[in-house]
Protein backbone atom coordinates (compact mmCIF):
# COMPACT_ATOMS: atom_id res chain seq x y z
CA UNK A 1 0.00 0.00 0.00
CA UNK A 2 1.32 3.42 -0.86
CA UNK A 3 -0.04 6.92 -0.53
CA UNK A 4 -1.59 8.06 -3.85
CA UNK A 5 -0.32 11.60 -3.59
CA UNK A 6 3.23 10.57 -2.76
CA UNK A 7 3.10 8.05 -5.57
CA UNK A 8 2.17 10.75 -8.05
CA UNK A 9 4.89 13.09 -6.83
CA UNK A 10 7.42 10.37 -7.49
CA UNK A 11 6.11 8.85 -10.71
CA UNK A 12 3.70 11.06 -12.66
CA UNK A 13 6.16 11.89 -15.49
CA UNK A 14 6.20 11.35 -19.24
CA UNK A 15 9.11 11.02 -21.63
CA UNK A 16 8.11 13.33 -24.49
CA UNK A 17 10.77 13.58 -27.17
CA UNK A 18 12.18 17.02 -27.83
CA UNK A 19 10.29 18.79 -30.62
CA UNK A 20 12.07 18.78 -33.96
CA UNK A 21 10.08 21.52 -35.69
CA UNK A 22 11.61 24.77 -36.81
CA UNK A 23 11.19 28.00 -34.95
CA UNK A 24 8.84 29.90 -37.19
CA UNK A 25 5.55 30.47 -35.44
CA UNK A 26 2.04 31.44 -36.13
CA UNK A 27 -0.93 31.55 -33.81
CA UNK A 28 -4.57 31.79 -34.55
CA UNK A 29 -5.90 35.31 -34.53
CA UNK A 30 -8.68 36.46 -32.27
CA UNK A 31 -12.07 36.41 -33.91
CA UNK A 32 -13.76 39.77 -33.68
CA UNK A 33 -17.07 37.99 -34.19
CA UNK A 34 -16.51 36.02 -31.00
CA UNK A 35 -15.28 38.80 -28.73
CA UNK A 36 -18.67 40.55 -28.31
CA UNK A 37 -20.17 37.22 -27.24
CA UNK A 38 -18.16 37.30 -24.01
CA UNK A 39 -20.22 38.22 -20.99
CA UNK A 40 -18.81 41.07 -18.96
CA UNK A 41 -17.76 39.06 -15.91
CA UNK A 42 -15.96 36.58 -18.18
CA UNK A 43 -14.24 39.11 -20.41
CA UNK A 44 -10.75 39.53 -19.01
CA UNK A 45 -9.31 43.03 -19.01
CA UNK A 46 -5.76 42.00 -18.47
CA UNK A 47 -3.56 38.98 -18.00
CA UNK A 48 -1.29 38.60 -15.00
CA UNK A 49 1.63 36.29 -14.39
CA UNK A 50 1.36 34.17 -11.28
CA UNK A 51 4.51 32.27 -10.31
CA UNK A 52 2.57 30.32 -7.71
CA UNK A 53 -0.38 29.24 -9.85
CA UNK A 54 0.91 25.73 -10.46
CA UNK A 55 1.84 25.35 -6.82
CA UNK A 56 -1.68 26.37 -5.82
CA UNK A 57 -3.10 23.56 -7.92
CA UNK A 58 -0.63 21.01 -6.56
CA UNK A 59 -1.50 22.00 -2.97
CA UNK A 60 -5.19 21.64 -3.77
CA UNK A 61 -4.55 18.17 -5.11
CA UNK A 62 -2.61 17.24 -2.00
CA UNK A 63 -5.50 18.41 0.19
CA UNK A 64 -8.04 16.49 -1.82
CA UNK A 65 -6.10 13.24 -2.04
CA UNK A 66 -5.17 13.41 1.64
CA UNK A 67 -4.36 9.91 2.92
CA UNK A 68 -5.83 8.06 -0.04
CA UNK A 69 -3.92 4.83 -0.42
CA UNK A 70 -3.10 2.79 -3.46
CA UNK A 71 -3.27 -1.02 -3.49
CA UNK A 72 -0.41 -3.03 -4.98
CA UNK A 73 -2.34 -3.94 -8.13
CA UNK A 74 -3.47 -0.38 -8.70
CA UNK A 75 0.07 0.82 -8.15
CA UNK A 76 1.35 -1.55 -10.81
CA UNK A 77 -1.33 -0.47 -13.24
CA UNK A 78 -0.58 3.19 -12.72
CA UNK A 79 3.15 2.66 -12.94
CA UNK A 80 2.73 1.39 -16.49
CA UNK A 81 1.18 4.75 -17.37
CA UNK A 82 4.21 6.79 -16.37
CA UNK A 83 7.84 7.15 -17.21
CA UNK A 84 9.95 5.07 -17.56
CA UNK A 85 7.61 2.08 -17.89
CA UNK A 86 5.41 3.72 -20.47
CA UNK A 87 8.22 3.72 -23.01
CA UNK A 88 8.88 -0.05 -22.79
CA UNK A 89 6.72 -2.97 -23.82
CA UNK A 90 6.23 -5.99 -21.63
CA UNK A 91 9.37 -7.60 -23.05
CA UNK A 92 11.44 -4.65 -21.96
CA UNK A 93 11.87 -3.34 -25.48
CA UNK A 94 11.69 0.38 -26.10
CA UNK A 95 8.50 1.51 -27.89
CA UNK A 96 9.53 3.65 -30.87
CA UNK A 97 6.57 5.93 -30.18
CA UNK A 98 8.15 7.29 -27.08
CA UNK A 99 11.64 7.75 -28.34
CA UNK A 100 11.68 9.29 -31.80
CA UNK A 101 9.52 11.18 -34.23
CA UNK A 102 9.03 14.33 -32.24
CA UNK A 103 6.60 15.99 -34.59
CA UNK A 104 3.56 18.00 -33.65
CA UNK A 105 1.07 15.31 -34.64
CA UNK A 106 3.14 12.70 -32.87
CA UNK A 107 3.11 14.70 -29.66
CA UNK A 108 -0.66 14.96 -29.94
CA UNK A 109 -1.00 11.18 -30.08
CA UNK A 110 1.43 10.67 -27.22
CA UNK A 111 -0.47 13.19 -25.17
CA UNK A 112 -3.72 11.27 -25.56
CA UNK A 113 -2.02 7.91 -24.94
CA UNK A 114 0.02 9.13 -22.01
CA UNK A 115 -1.33 12.08 -20.09
CA UNK A 116 -5.04 11.65 -20.75
CA UNK A 117 -5.13 7.92 -20.11
CA UNK A 118 -3.12 8.32 -16.89
CA UNK A 119 -5.51 11.07 -15.85
CA UNK A 120 -8.50 8.81 -16.42
CA UNK A 121 -6.91 6.02 -14.39
CA UNK A 122 -6.06 8.33 -11.48
CA UNK A 123 -9.60 9.67 -11.33
CA UNK A 124 -10.98 6.17 -11.45
CA UNK A 125 -8.58 5.01 -8.77
CA UNK A 126 -9.41 7.91 -6.50
CA UNK A 127 -13.19 7.91 -6.61
CA UNK A 128 -14.40 5.70 -9.43
CA UNK A 129 -14.80 8.84 -11.53
CA UNK A 130 -15.26 8.67 -15.24
CA UNK A 131 -13.16 11.03 -17.34
CA UNK A 132 -14.69 12.13 -20.60
CA UNK A 133 -12.43 13.79 -23.17
CA UNK A 134 -14.13 15.54 -26.03
CA UNK A 135 -11.92 16.70 -28.84
CA UNK A 136 -12.00 19.70 -31.16
CA UNK A 137 -14.81 21.54 -29.46
CA UNK A 138 -16.15 24.97 -30.35
CA UNK A 139 -18.19 26.99 -27.88
CA UNK A 140 -21.83 27.66 -28.69
CA UNK A 141 -21.97 30.37 -31.38
CA UNK A 142 -18.19 30.58 -31.34
CA UNK A 143 -15.65 29.27 -33.76
CA UNK A 144 -12.31 28.97 -31.96
CA UNK A 145 -11.59 25.35 -31.42
CA UNK A 146 -10.11 23.75 -28.36
CA UNK A 147 -8.25 20.47 -28.57
CA UNK A 148 -9.79 18.75 -25.55
CA UNK A 149 -12.57 19.53 -23.13
CA UNK A 150 -12.25 17.34 -20.06
CA UNK A 151 -15.27 16.56 -17.97
CA UNK A 152 -15.81 14.19 -15.09
CA UNK A 153 -19.21 12.71 -14.42
CA UNK A 154 -20.86 15.53 -16.34
CA UNK A 155 -18.91 18.41 -14.77
CA UNK A 156 -16.63 20.45 -16.99
CA UNK A 157 -13.20 20.12 -15.46
CA UNK A 158 -10.74 21.90 -17.68
CA UNK A 159 -9.58 22.52 -21.18
CA UNK A 160 -6.46 21.46 -22.96
CA UNK A 161 -4.97 23.23 -25.91
CA UNK A 162 -2.12 21.43 -27.54
CA UNK A 163 0.06 23.99 -29.28
CA UNK A 164 2.61 23.49 -31.96
CA UNK A 165 6.24 23.43 -30.83
CA UNK A 166 7.06 26.46 -32.92
CA UNK A 167 4.50 28.56 -31.07
CA UNK A 168 5.71 27.36 -27.70
CA UNK A 169 9.36 27.84 -28.59
CA UNK A 170 8.61 31.40 -29.49
CA UNK A 171 6.31 32.08 -26.61
CA UNK A 172 8.76 30.66 -24.10
CA UNK A 173 11.08 33.60 -24.19
CA UNK A 174 8.29 36.12 -24.63
CA UNK A 175 5.90 35.47 -21.80
CA UNK A 176 5.52 38.79 -20.01
CA UNK A 177 7.13 38.97 -16.59
CA UNK A 178 4.24 40.76 -14.93
CA UNK A 179 1.23 40.89 -17.18
CA UNK A 180 -0.38 42.87 -19.99
CA UNK A 181 -3.50 44.85 -20.71
CA UNK A 182 -5.88 43.00 -22.99
CA UNK A 183 -7.00 44.94 -26.03
CA UNK A 184 -9.05 42.23 -27.73
CA UNK A 185 -7.85 43.39 -31.11
CA UNK A 186 -5.65 42.04 -33.84
CA UNK A 187 -2.10 42.99 -34.45
CA UNK A 188 -0.75 41.68 -31.18
CA UNK A 189 2.60 40.02 -30.86
CA UNK A 190 2.73 36.29 -30.34
CA UNK A 191 2.69 35.83 -26.56
CA UNK A 192 -0.16 38.30 -25.95
CA UNK A 193 -2.02 36.70 -28.82
CA UNK A 194 -1.75 33.24 -27.26
CA UNK A 195 -2.84 34.58 -23.87
CA UNK A 196 -5.70 36.61 -25.33
CA UNK A 197 -6.87 33.54 -27.16
CA UNK A 198 -6.74 31.60 -23.89
CA UNK A 199 -8.92 34.25 -22.24
CA UNK A 200 -11.36 34.08 -25.16
CA UNK A 201 -11.56 30.30 -25.10
CA UNK A 202 -12.22 30.21 -21.35
CA UNK A 203 -14.56 33.21 -21.36
CA UNK A 204 -16.78 31.81 -24.09
CA UNK A 205 -17.09 28.48 -22.32
CA UNK A 206 -17.28 30.08 -18.89
CA UNK A 207 -14.61 27.78 -17.52
CA UNK A 208 -11.75 28.42 -15.14
CA UNK A 209 -8.79 26.32 -16.26
CA UNK A 210 -6.88 25.98 -19.50
CA UNK A 211 -3.66 24.06 -19.97
CA UNK A 212 -1.65 24.97 -23.03
CA UNK A 213 0.80 22.20 -23.78
CA UNK A 214 3.41 21.26 -26.28
CA UNK A 215 5.62 18.23 -25.78
CA UNK A 216 7.27 18.87 -22.44
CA UNK A 217 6.19 22.45 -22.06
CA UNK A 218 3.05 23.59 -20.36
CA UNK A 219 1.49 26.92 -19.43
CA UNK A 220 -1.44 26.93 -17.02
CA UNK A 221 -4.12 29.63 -17.37
CA UNK A 222 -6.90 30.52 -14.98
CA UNK A 223 -9.75 32.86 -15.83
CA UNK A 224 -10.69 34.79 -12.71
CA UNK A 225 -14.30 35.76 -13.07
CA UNK A 226 -15.30 39.05 -11.51
CA UNK A 227 -18.08 41.56 -12.09
CA UNK A 228 -15.65 44.46 -12.38
CA UNK A 229 -12.16 43.16 -12.99
CA UNK A 230 -12.13 39.75 -14.64
CA UNK A 231 -8.61 38.74 -15.60
CA UNK A 232 -6.48 35.84 -16.76
CA UNK A 233 -3.73 34.49 -14.52
CA UNK A 234 -1.02 32.43 -16.18
CA UNK A 235 1.93 30.41 -14.96
CA UNK A 236 5.46 30.63 -16.26
CA UNK A 237 6.26 27.86 -18.70
CA UNK A 238 6.85 24.57 -16.87
CA UNK A 239 8.32 21.31 -18.12
CA UNK A 240 7.21 17.72 -17.50
CA UNK A 241 10.74 16.58 -18.19
CA UNK A 242 11.64 14.77 -14.96
CA UNK A 243 8.85 16.54 -13.12
CA UNK A 244 5.44 15.39 -11.98
CA UNK A 245 4.32 18.96 -11.26
CA UNK A 246 2.39 19.61 -14.52
CA UNK A 247 0.44 16.36 -14.28
CA UNK A 248 -0.42 17.00 -10.64
CA UNK A 249 -1.50 20.54 -11.50
CA UNK A 250 -3.84 19.20 -14.19
CA UNK A 251 -5.29 16.57 -11.86
CA UNK A 252 -5.61 19.27 -9.17
CA UNK A 253 -7.56 21.56 -11.50
CA UNK A 254 -9.96 18.79 -12.45
CA UNK A 255 -10.36 17.49 -8.92
CA UNK A 256 -11.01 20.98 -7.58
CA UNK A 257 -13.93 21.38 -9.99
CA UNK A 258 -15.28 17.88 -9.46
CA UNK A 259 -14.99 18.00 -5.66
CA UNK A 260 -15.90 21.67 -5.43
CA UNK A 261 -12.71 22.48 -3.53
CA UNK A 262 -11.58 26.07 -4.18
CA UNK A 263 -8.03 26.67 -5.31
CA UNK A 264 -6.24 29.49 -3.49
CA UNK A 265 -7.59 32.63 -5.18
CA UNK A 266 -5.87 35.12 -7.40
CA UNK A 267 -6.80 38.55 -6.10
CA UNK A 268 -7.19 41.62 -8.23
CA UNK A 269 -4.75 44.34 -7.35
CA UNK A 270 -5.47 47.70 -8.99
CA UNK A 271 -1.85 48.77 -8.46
CA UNK A 272 -0.52 45.76 -10.24
CA UNK A 273 2.39 46.60 -12.45
CA UNK A 274 1.82 45.52 -16.04
CA UNK A 275 4.41 45.13 -18.74
CA UNK A 276 4.39 47.73 -21.44
CA UNK A 277 6.78 45.77 -23.61
CA UNK A 278 3.97 43.75 -25.15
CA UNK A 279 1.42 46.43 -25.72
CA UNK A 280 -0.69 46.10 -28.82
CA UNK A 281 1.43 46.87 -31.79
CA UNK A 282 0.54 47.35 -35.37
CA UNK A 283 2.74 44.75 -36.98
CA UNK A 284 1.56 45.46 -40.48
CA UNK A 285 -0.27 42.68 -42.27
CA UNK A 286 -1.63 39.92 -40.08
CA UNK A 287 -0.60 36.31 -40.86
CA UNK A 288 -3.88 35.74 -42.68
CA UNK A 289 -3.25 38.63 -45.03
CA UNK A 290 -0.64 36.40 -46.57
CA UNK A 291 -3.14 33.72 -47.40
CA UNK A 292 -3.17 33.55 -51.11
CA UNK A 293 -6.20 31.83 -52.54
CA UNK A 294 -5.55 33.21 -55.97
CA UNK A 295 -8.28 35.77 -55.73
CA UNK A 296 -7.69 39.37 -56.65
CA UNK A 297 -8.77 40.33 -53.15
CA UNK A 298 -6.38 38.04 -51.38
CA UNK A 299 -3.01 38.83 -49.88
CA UNK A 300 -2.02 42.42 -50.05
CA UNK A 301 -3.94 43.44 -53.13
CA UNK A 302 -7.01 44.63 -51.28
CA UNK A 303 -7.54 47.23 -48.66
CA UNK A 304 -7.58 46.00 -45.11
CA UNK A 305 -9.49 47.70 -42.43
CA UNK A 306 -9.28 46.70 -38.83
CA UNK A 307 -11.53 48.44 -36.43
CA UNK A 308 -12.37 47.89 -32.84
CA UNK A 309 -14.49 50.85 -31.87
CA UNK A 310 -13.46 50.34 -28.26
CA UNK A 311 -9.97 51.49 -29.12
CA UNK A 312 -10.87 53.30 -32.33
CA UNK A 313 -8.20 51.58 -34.36
CA UNK A 314 -9.00 52.05 -37.99
CA UNK A 315 -6.33 51.46 -40.56
CA UNK A 316 -6.87 52.02 -44.25
CA UNK A 317 -4.14 50.70 -46.50
CA UNK A 318 -5.46 51.49 -49.90
CA UNK A 319 -8.72 53.05 -50.81
CA UNK A 320 -9.74 51.95 -54.28
CA UNK A 321 -13.32 51.21 -53.29
CA UNK A 322 -15.89 53.76 -52.32
CA UNK A 323 -17.41 53.87 -48.87
CA UNK A 324 -20.77 52.94 -50.41
CA UNK A 325 -19.54 49.49 -51.36
CA UNK A 326 -18.49 48.66 -47.83
CA UNK A 327 -20.31 46.88 -45.09
CA UNK A 328 -19.83 46.70 -41.35
CA UNK A 329 -20.93 43.78 -39.18
CA UNK A 330 -20.99 43.12 -35.47
CA UNK A 331 -22.15 40.41 -33.10
CA UNK A 332 -22.33 43.02 -30.30
CA UNK A 333 -25.73 43.42 -28.73
CA UNK A 334 -27.79 46.24 -30.15
CA UNK A 335 -28.31 47.42 -26.59
CA UNK A 336 -24.63 47.60 -25.76
CA UNK A 337 -23.05 51.04 -25.39
CA UNK A 338 -21.39 52.26 -28.56
CA UNK A 339 -17.90 52.29 -27.06
CA UNK A 340 -18.06 48.57 -26.35
CA UNK A 341 -19.34 47.54 -29.76
CA UNK A 342 -16.86 45.72 -31.97
CA UNK A 343 -17.42 46.44 -35.65
CA UNK A 344 -15.70 44.59 -38.45
CA UNK A 345 -15.28 46.57 -41.67
CA UNK A 346 -15.68 44.63 -44.86
CA UNK A 347 -15.09 45.27 -48.55
CA UNK A 348 -17.00 43.54 -51.35
CA UNK A 349 -15.49 40.61 -53.20
CA UNK A 350 -13.97 41.91 -56.41
CA UNK A 351 -16.67 40.19 -58.51
CA UNK A 352 -19.53 41.21 -56.26
CA UNK A 353 -22.09 42.91 -58.46
CA UNK A 354 -25.11 42.14 -56.31
CA UNK A 355 -26.86 45.04 -54.60
CA UNK A 356 -27.60 45.02 -50.89
CA UNK A 357 -31.31 45.13 -49.99
CA UNK A 358 -33.02 48.48 -50.13
CA UNK A 359 -33.25 48.71 -46.32
CA UNK A 360 -29.44 48.56 -46.07
CA UNK A 361 -29.21 51.90 -47.76
CA UNK A 362 -31.21 53.70 -45.08
CA UNK A 363 -28.54 53.47 -42.38
CA UNK A 364 -24.78 53.20 -42.43
CA UNK A 365 -24.68 49.81 -44.12
CA UNK A 366 -24.23 48.27 -40.74
CA UNK A 367 -25.35 44.72 -40.15
CA UNK A 368 -26.23 43.46 -36.65
CA UNK A 369 -25.85 39.71 -36.11
CA UNK A 370 -28.82 39.20 -33.85
CA UNK A 371 -29.23 35.47 -33.43
CA UNK A 372 -27.13 32.41 -34.12
CA UNK A 373 -28.88 30.12 -36.61
CA UNK A 374 -26.56 27.22 -37.29
CA UNK A 375 -23.08 26.14 -38.17
CA UNK A 376 -21.40 23.95 -40.74
CA UNK A 377 -17.90 23.04 -41.72
CA UNK A 378 -17.43 26.27 -43.66
CA UNK A 379 -18.94 28.81 -41.32
CA UNK A 380 -21.61 30.00 -38.92
CA UNK A 381 -24.94 31.37 -40.09
CA UNK A 382 -26.59 34.23 -38.20
CA UNK A 383 -29.91 35.98 -38.41
CA UNK A 384 -29.21 39.65 -38.93
CA UNK A 385 -30.75 43.01 -39.68
CA UNK A 386 -29.52 46.30 -41.04
CA UNK A 387 -29.43 49.56 -39.10
CA UNK A 388 -32.88 51.02 -38.64
CA UNK A 389 -34.69 48.16 -40.35
CA UNK A 390 -36.94 45.43 -38.99
CA UNK A 391 -36.32 43.06 -41.92
CA UNK A 392 -34.26 40.01 -41.15
CA UNK A 393 -31.65 38.37 -43.36
CA UNK A 394 -29.15 35.56 -43.03
CA UNK A 395 -25.40 36.03 -43.09
CA UNK A 396 -22.93 33.21 -43.44
CA UNK A 397 -19.74 34.13 -41.62
CA UNK A 398 -16.51 32.35 -42.45
CA UNK A 399 -13.58 33.11 -40.19
CA UNK A 400 -10.22 33.37 -41.84
CA UNK A 401 -7.85 33.51 -38.92
CA UNK A 402 -4.99 31.26 -39.91
CA UNK A 403 -3.45 30.01 -43.13
CA UNK A 404 -5.39 26.74 -42.94
CA UNK A 405 -8.62 28.75 -43.21
CA UNK A 406 -7.81 29.71 -46.81
CA UNK A 407 -9.71 26.61 -47.90
CA UNK A 408 -12.89 27.79 -46.16
CA UNK A 409 -12.55 31.19 -47.76
CA UNK A 410 -12.17 29.53 -51.14
CA UNK A 411 -15.29 27.47 -50.54
CA UNK A 412 -17.20 30.63 -49.76
CA UNK A 413 -15.87 32.17 -52.97
CA UNK A 414 -17.03 29.12 -54.94
CA UNK A 415 -20.39 29.27 -53.23
CA UNK A 416 -20.74 32.95 -54.01
CA UNK A 417 -19.96 32.30 -57.66
CA UNK A 418 -22.86 29.89 -57.77
CA UNK A 419 -25.21 32.37 -56.09
CA UNK A 420 -24.05 34.93 -58.63
CA UNK A 421 -24.77 32.56 -61.53
CA UNK A 422 -28.20 31.73 -60.09
CA UNK A 423 -29.04 35.40 -59.64
CA UNK A 424 -27.98 36.15 -63.21
CA UNK A 425 -30.07 33.23 -64.49
CA UNK A 426 -33.04 34.55 -62.56
CA UNK A 427 -32.59 38.15 -63.75
CA UNK A 428 -32.25 37.02 -67.37
CA UNK A 429 -35.43 34.88 -66.99
CA UNK A 430 -33.54 31.71 -67.65
CA UNK A 431 -34.98 30.69 -64.28
CA UNK A 432 -38.59 31.51 -63.53
CA UNK A 433 -38.28 31.02 -59.80
CA UNK A 434 -35.40 31.39 -57.42
CA UNK A 435 -34.03 28.01 -56.49
CA UNK A 436 -31.78 29.35 -53.74
CA UNK A 437 -32.17 32.19 -51.23
CA UNK A 438 -31.60 35.55 -52.87
CA UNK A 439 -28.01 36.62 -52.36
CA UNK A 440 -27.10 40.23 -51.57
CA UNK A 441 -23.38 39.98 -51.99
CA UNK A 442 -20.16 38.68 -50.53
CA UNK A 443 -17.70 40.72 -48.48
CA UNK A 444 -14.46 40.19 -46.66
CA UNK A 445 -12.20 41.99 -44.27
CA UNK A 446 -10.64 41.67 -40.89
CA UNK A 447 -10.38 37.90 -40.45
CA UNK A 448 -13.79 37.13 -41.93
CA UNK A 449 -15.61 36.63 -45.22
CA UNK A 450 -19.40 36.79 -45.36
CA UNK A 451 -22.32 36.05 -47.64
CA UNK A 452 -25.58 37.97 -47.18
CA UNK A 453 -28.70 35.94 -48.04
CA UNK A 454 -32.42 35.88 -47.64
CA UNK A 455 -33.36 34.24 -44.39
CA UNK A 456 -35.00 30.83 -44.63
CA UNK A 457 -37.29 29.15 -42.21
CA UNK A 458 -35.39 26.05 -41.15
CA UNK A 459 -34.09 23.05 -43.04
CA UNK A 460 -35.30 19.50 -43.66
CA UNK A 461 -34.27 16.82 -41.23
CA UNK A 462 -34.92 13.90 -43.53
CA UNK A 463 -36.32 13.22 -46.96
CA UNK A 464 -39.24 11.44 -45.36
CA UNK A 465 -40.46 14.76 -43.94
CA UNK A 466 -41.62 15.81 -47.41
CA UNK A 467 -45.18 15.33 -48.57
CA UNK A 468 -45.70 14.12 -52.13
CA UNK A 469 -46.24 17.58 -53.54
CA UNK A 470 -43.28 18.95 -51.58
CA UNK A 471 -41.16 16.15 -52.90
CA UNK A 472 -42.05 17.20 -56.37
CA UNK A 473 -41.22 20.87 -55.61
CA UNK A 474 -37.80 19.96 -54.32
CA UNK A 475 -37.23 17.71 -57.25
CA UNK A 476 -37.89 20.59 -59.61
CA UNK A 477 -35.37 22.78 -57.79
CA UNK A 478 -32.72 20.14 -58.17
CA UNK A 479 -33.67 19.61 -61.81
CA UNK A 480 -33.51 23.33 -62.59
CA UNK A 481 -30.14 23.64 -60.92
CA UNK A 482 -28.90 20.73 -62.96
CA UNK A 483 -30.17 22.25 -66.19
CA UNK A 484 -28.14 25.35 -65.50
CA UNK A 485 -25.05 23.19 -65.55
CA UNK A 486 -24.46 23.46 -61.83
CA UNK A 487 -23.95 20.56 -59.47
CA UNK A 488 -24.77 21.12 -55.85
CA UNK A 489 -22.27 18.57 -54.58
CA UNK A 490 -23.99 17.98 -51.25
CA UNK A 491 -27.69 17.36 -51.82
CA UNK A 492 -28.72 16.33 -48.36
CA UNK A 493 -31.97 17.10 -46.49
CA UNK A 494 -30.19 19.68 -44.32
CA UNK A 495 -29.35 21.63 -47.45
CA UNK A 496 -33.00 21.92 -48.44
CA UNK A 497 -34.45 24.97 -46.66
CA UNK A 498 -38.02 26.15 -46.26
CA UNK A 499 -38.56 29.66 -47.55
CA UNK A 500 -40.52 32.13 -45.44
CA UNK A 501 -43.14 32.17 -48.19
CA UNK A 502 -43.85 28.47 -47.65
CA UNK A 503 -41.83 26.96 -50.49
CA UNK A 504 -38.41 25.37 -50.66
CA UNK A 505 -34.95 26.36 -51.79
CA UNK A 506 -31.50 24.83 -51.96
CA UNK A 507 -28.74 26.16 -49.69
CA UNK A 508 -25.07 25.51 -49.04
CA UNK A 509 -23.31 25.47 -52.38
CA UNK A 510 -19.88 25.25 -50.79
CA UNK A 511 -19.28 21.90 -52.49
CA UNK A 512 -20.89 23.02 -55.73
CA UNK A 513 -19.41 23.46 -59.18
CA UNK A 514 -20.05 23.11 -62.87
CA UNK A 515 -21.04 19.71 -64.25
CA UNK A 516 -20.54 18.43 -67.74
CA UNK A 517 -23.54 16.16 -68.04
CA UNK A 518 -25.10 16.18 -71.46
CA UNK A 519 -28.82 16.43 -71.80
CA UNK A 520 -31.42 18.11 -69.75
CA UNK A 521 -33.56 15.31 -68.46
CA UNK A 522 -33.91 14.56 -64.84
CA UNK A 523 -32.00 11.59 -63.74
CA UNK A 524 -31.79 9.05 -61.03
CA UNK A 525 -29.74 11.07 -58.65
CA UNK A 526 -33.00 12.22 -57.17
CA UNK A 527 -34.45 8.77 -56.83
CA UNK A 528 -35.27 9.36 -53.19
CA UNK A 529 -37.35 12.33 -54.32
CA UNK A 530 -39.18 10.61 -57.09
CA UNK A 531 -39.14 6.91 -56.60
CA UNK A 532 -42.28 6.69 -54.52
CA UNK A 533 -44.42 9.00 -56.66
CA UNK A 534 -42.94 8.31 -60.03
CA UNK A 535 -41.69 4.77 -60.10
CA UNK A 536 -41.44 4.90 -63.86
CA UNK A 537 -38.60 7.37 -63.48
CA UNK A 538 -36.69 5.26 -61.07
CA UNK A 539 -33.23 4.43 -62.29
CA UNK A 540 -33.73 6.57 -65.37
CA UNK A 541 -30.43 8.20 -65.01
CA UNK A 542 -29.73 9.84 -68.31
CA UNK A 543 -26.73 11.74 -67.10
CA UNK A 544 -23.79 11.24 -64.92
CA UNK A 545 -23.12 13.70 -62.20
CA UNK A 546 -21.62 13.94 -58.75
CA UNK A 547 -24.93 14.92 -57.22
CA UNK A 548 -26.24 11.61 -58.40
CA UNK A 549 -23.86 9.66 -56.24
CA UNK A 550 -23.92 12.06 -53.35
CA UNK A 551 -27.67 12.10 -53.07
CA UNK A 552 -28.24 8.39 -53.50
CA UNK A 553 -25.28 7.48 -51.33
CA UNK A 554 -24.37 4.83 -53.90
CA UNK A 555 -22.62 4.60 -57.20
CA UNK A 556 -25.54 4.91 -59.55
CA UNK A 557 -23.69 4.99 -62.80
CA UNK A 558 -24.05 1.28 -63.50
CA UNK A 559 -27.80 1.63 -63.25
CA UNK A 560 -27.94 4.64 -65.55
CA UNK A 561 -29.02 4.54 -69.12
CA UNK A 562 -26.89 7.30 -70.62
Binding residues for ATP, by number, are 396
Dihedral sign of CA atoms 146, 149, 155, 157 in order: negative
User: Closest by alpha carbon to 375, among 138, 38, 136?
Assistant: 138
Q: Which runs of consecutive H residues, i.e. helices, occur in 371-513?
A: 406-427, 468-483
The piece of 189-197, 235-243, 494-502, 531-539 that touches ligand ATP (CB under 6 A) is 494-502
The piece of 99-107, 164-172, 370-378, 467-475 that touches ligand ATP (CB under 6 A) is 370-378
User: Taking CB under 6 A as the rule, which mask of x and - marks residues 394-433 in contact with ligand ATP?
Assistant: x-x-------------------------------------
* CA–CA dist 156, 117 (Å, integer): 17
The piece of 7-15, 48-56, 373-381, 549-557 that touches ligand ATP (CB under 6 A) is 373-381
- Looking at the Cβ atoms of 208 and 547, the one nearer to ligand ATP is 547
User: CB under 8 Å to 209, separation ≥6 — which residues?
Assistant: 157, 158, 159, 202, 220, 221, 222, 253, 254, 257
- Looking at the Cβ atoms of 378 and 417, the one nearer to ligand ATP is 378
* CA–CA dist 457, 58 (Å, integer): 52
Among 125, 308, 508, 546, binds ligand ATP (CB under 6 A): 508
Phi, psi (5° rounding) for residue 263?
-90, 145
Query: Does 143 interact with ligand ATP (rule: CB under 6 A)?
Result: no
Among 146, 175, 381, 517, binds ligand ATP (CB under 6 A): 381
Q: How far is the CB of 105 from ligand ATP (least distance, A)?
A: 24
Distance separating the N- and C-terminal Cα atoms of the chain: 76
Among 240, 507, 556, 560, binds ligand ATP (CB under 6 A): 507
Query: Does 288 interact with ligand ATP (rule: CB under 6 A)?
Result: no
Query: Does 374 interact with ligand ATP (rule: CB under 6 A)?
Result: yes
Q: How far is the CB of 494 from ligand ATP (least distance, A)?
A: 5
- Looking at the Cβ atoms of 178 and 375, the one nearer to ligand ATP is 375
* CA–CA dist 376, 494 (Å, integer): 10
- Looking at the Cβ atoms of 351 and 494, the one nearer to ligand ATP is 494
User: Closest by alpha carbon to 348, among 370, 320, 327, 364?
Assistant: 327
Identify the three-state secondary structure at position 409. Answer: helix
Is residue 455 within 8 Å of 392, Cβ to Cβ? yes
* CA–CA dist 343, 64 (Å, integer): 46
Query: Does 510 interact with ligand ATP (rule: CB under 6 A)?
Result: yes
- Looking at the Cβ atoms of 245 and 412, the one nearer to ligand ATP is 412
Return the ∠ at Cα 188 (arms to 182 and 191), rounded to 5°: 80
User: Closest by alpha carbon to 78, among 156, 150, 9, 16?
Assistant: 9
Query: Does 459 interact with ligand ATP (rule: CB under 6 A)?
Result: yes
Is residue 366 within 8 Å of 387, Cβ to Cβ? yes
Identify the three-state secondary structure at position 123. Answer: helix
Q: How far is the CB of 484 from ligand ATP (least distance, A)?
A: 19
Among 4, 212, 456, 486, binds ligand ATP (CB under 6 A): 456
State the Rg of the chain over Cα: 27
- Looking at the Cβ atoms of 209 and 440, the one nearer to ligand ATP is 440
Is residue 315 within 8 Å of 353, Cβ to Cβ? no
Query: Does 512 interact with ligand ATP (rule: CB under 6 A)?
Result: no
By rule CB under 6 A, what count of residues binds ligand ATP? 21
Among 170, 244, 378, 527, binds ligand ATP (CB under 6 A): 378
3-state SS record for 367-380: EEEEEEEEECCCCE
Query: Does 489 interact with ligand ATP (rule: CB under 6 A)?
Result: no
The piece of 213-221, 329-337, 427-435, 503-511 that touches ligand ATP (CB under 6 A) is 503-511
- Looking at the Cβ atoms of 383 and 540, the one nearer to ligand ATP is 383
* CA–CA dist 254, 260 (Å, integer): 10
Residues 515-544 that bind ligand ATP (CB under 6 A): none
* CA–CA dist 234, 221 (Å, integer): 4
Contact positions toward ligand ATP, by CB under 6 A? 373-379, 381, 394, 396, 437, 453, 455-456, 459, 494-495, 497, 507-508, 510
Amino acid sequence: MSNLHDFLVEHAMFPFPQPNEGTSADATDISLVEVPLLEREWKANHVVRDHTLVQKLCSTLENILGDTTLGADAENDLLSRFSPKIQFNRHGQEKPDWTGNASESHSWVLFAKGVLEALGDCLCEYGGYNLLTETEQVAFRGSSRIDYVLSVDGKDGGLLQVKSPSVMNNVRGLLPQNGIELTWARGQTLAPKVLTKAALILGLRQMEWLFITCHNYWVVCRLVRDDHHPFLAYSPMISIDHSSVPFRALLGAIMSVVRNVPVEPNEFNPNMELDTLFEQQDEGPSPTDDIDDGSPNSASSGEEIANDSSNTRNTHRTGHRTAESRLMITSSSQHSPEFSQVWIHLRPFSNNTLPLPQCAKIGNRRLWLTCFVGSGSTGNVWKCRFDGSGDFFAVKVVEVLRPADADKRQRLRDEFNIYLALEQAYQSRQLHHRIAPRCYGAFEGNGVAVLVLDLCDGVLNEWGALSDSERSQVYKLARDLHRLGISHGDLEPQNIARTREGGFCLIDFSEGGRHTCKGSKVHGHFTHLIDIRQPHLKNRCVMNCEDCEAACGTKVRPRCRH
